[in-house]
Amino acid sequence: MIQILEVVLYASDGRQRGLRFRPGELNVVTGESASGKSALLEVIRYCLGSGDFRIPEGVIAGSVAWYALRLRTPGGEALVARPRPQHGRATTTDMFLRLGRHVSTPALPDLVINANVDSVRGELGRLIGIAENASPIPAGASRPELEAI
């Protein structure tokens, strides 16, 4: 099982803003309408390797350079981070991944691209015991190959 320990937003000037969660407990996020609750879910999706960037336009999307999650994993902790897509691009596959017994939240200059979406999703899946799998099709079959993601 993987649990979210913290969601971290990095501004371009290096400032960080984090929202910590209590693992093993029910964490409830409340707030006024349009205060960022739905954006928080999109940040989590994006950091876990979603194929698209759906963080709503506004303060968060306009001022954040990197989005990160600090996670508790069966073997310790992980930090996954993903930069905001460059202007004119719908998304990016570039990511940062750090694994360890305890992983601290790095400073912005320490976030360097060392992984991609596929490698991060594969590593997180491996950590929780979900092996990559595909259902190859025989030559000449009319259906597409299936893969659980």
For the whole prediction, is pTM greater than 0.75? yes
> Domain limits at 77?
3-147
Least confident segment among 2-11, 59-68, 95-104:
59-68
Q: What is the CATH number of the domain that holds 90?
A: 3.40.50
The answer to whether 130 and 121 have CB atoms below 8 angstroms apart is no
The answer to whether 74 and 126 have CB atoms below 8 angstroms apart is no
Q: How many domains does the chain have?
A: 1
Does pLDDT of 145 surpass 80? no
User: How does pLDDT run across 45-61, given as a tens digit for each residue?
Assistant: 999 999 888 887 777 77
